[in-house]
Structure formats: C-alpha cells, structure tokens
Amino acid sequence: MVKFEGTGLHTGRPSTVVLKPAPRDTGIVFIRTDRSTIVKAHIGAVVDTAFATTIGYNGTRIKTVEHLLSTLSGIGIDNIIVEVNGPEIPILDGSSTELVSIILDAGISKQGKKRPYIRITKPIILDDGHAEIMAVPYNGRRVTYRIHFKHRIFDMQNLSLDLNEEVFIKEIAPARTFGFLKHVEMLRANGLAKGGSLDNAVVIGDNGILNKTGLRFNDEFVRHKILDLIGDFSLIGYPIYGHIIAERAGHSSHVRFLRKLLSSVNSWEIGRASCRERV
Ligand code: ZN
C-alpha cells in the first residue's frame, strides 16, 4: 500500500490517495471513498478536459488524474486500485517525480500474464484546425510532441523519444505543470487553478519564468506535454505500439484522438506482452 496527500491544483482542496495492489485484469480503478463511487480509468469515463483530465461516474468526479495515470503507465503498472477521499488528485510538485519514487519504493510485482497492447498498422490522423495528432506504424513506442507559444522567450519546443521506463523516469517524470501568468486570472475566474502556486507549477511571465529555482530542463514544457499525453493515452486501456506525433495538442485533443483511434478498427491490431501490478 502506498499513501500520499496534498492539494488539488484546480479545486485547491486537500485529499489523501491510497494505492492498493489489484489482481490482474483489474486495470486502473479509482474509488472516491467519500462518495463510495467507483470510476474505472477509461476513455468512456472522461467527463471534462478543460485544463486537466476529469473522470467521473453518475455525477461524482475525480479531477486531474493525468499525472498519476502517466506515472502508472510510465513505469508499467497495469492493475491498481486508487482510493481518493476528495474531488481531485493532489498536484504535489506538479510533476511525477514524487509519485515515481513512492511507487518504486513500495515495489512492483509481475503477474505472469501476457497483457494486450495496440499495434498501429495504418496512420490515424486527427486535425481539428489547431491541434494535430497522428499515430503511425513504428517498431516500438515513440512520442514526438511540438508546442508553439506566442512568447518572445519560449516559442517552439519539439521533442522525440522512444518510451520505456528509464526514459520516463529520467526525461519525462520531473517535468512540471506550467501556465502563463496572463491566464491565471482567467483560470481563477473560471474556478480553476485555486491550488496553483510556484511550488506546484512553472509560471511563465512576459520576461521569463517566475519560479526562482529555474527550469529542470530547457524544454521542460514540451516534456510536461508528453507526460500529460502518456497519462491521457493510458485511458485507452492498452499500451500503444506506434509513433504518436502531437502538435499544439492538449487534453481535449488527446481524448478526441483516442476516440478516433478506437473507431478506426482497420488501423490497429491487438498484440500481447507481460503484465505487472504494484504491491
Ligand atoms: Zn499536466
């Protein structure tokens, strides 16, 4: 069992999360213990994608699940119970570093079963006029992400990586949530970012970042976008073998792409690999 607590980035509400081992074929299952509601982490459970990914069932919601999901996917955990006693997963330092270390400290057990994965066999493309996401056949798991900002210091960032646990832990997990100072008021007016601070997000002002500790990578923002993508894409329930290329994307387009992928049944096939859980 693993336990952590903290404040939600958007709701500003404190919560405690308990991770419990689960038998094979469970998948990632969230339980809102204060509402006695079970929400399976799946694309069909997504109820909101504005500035975070929110899953829910019957009116009970769990906000900002993407960083925890990314961590579980990034270190290869397929089956787990996530109990949370509030409406949002704590943001911690805005990255996945702490989550990786507490889960690895607890240990991960192999469950001795081949688990299914999706292998992309033909290109799948989503282009909504702003965001573009595609998946193309590739012998492995590769992600390319490009972001473009209208900012005089931070304009374009582009990163391509072959994904495995080591790459996730070193290159992706430490990258923090970020936002523009000029958007903070708008977010707060919409009831978001109430728990946001320089301790859990990189804030970009006109003349650079406001955080005195600096950046963890020169291209930390595109790395965090990959962290978010890994979390959102895990909602499909299967690892994807292929090359995912995303440009100007975000939670909403990630989820729209996954729905398109699921319906593009002639563009992928199911294979099988080993299966693990956390203990
Ligand atoms: Zn994020």
Q: What is the pLDDT of residues 93-114, one digit of tens each?
A: 999 999 999 999 988 888 877 7
Separation of alpha carbons 251 and 60, rounded Å: 20
Residue 61: name the closest of 107, 8, 110, 120 by CA.
Answer: 8
Task: Kindly report, residue by residue over 228-256, the tens digit of the pLDDT.
Answer: 999 999 999 999 999 999 999 999 999 99
Give the confidence band of 276 by pLDDT, cuts at 50, 70, 90: low
Q: How far is the CA of 91 from the centre of ligand 1 (A)?
A: 9
Residue 254: name the closest of 222, 221, 220, 231 by CA.
Answer: 231
Across 89-107, b (16+ Cβ under 10 Å) vs e yields bbbbebbbbebbeebeeee
Collapsing DSSP to helix, strand or coil, 207 comes out as coil
Active-site positions read: 251
Residues 6+ apart with CB under 8 A from 239: 73, 117, 118, 141, 273
Structure tokens at 236: 């499909």
Q: How far is the CA of 58 from the centre of ligand 1 (A)?
A: 25
Q: How far is the CA of 268 from the centre of ligand 1 (A)?
A: 27
According to DSSP, residue 241 is labeled E
Q: How far is the CA of 28 from the centre of ligand 1 (A)?
A: 19
Question: Is the full-model pTM beyond 0.85?
Answer: yes
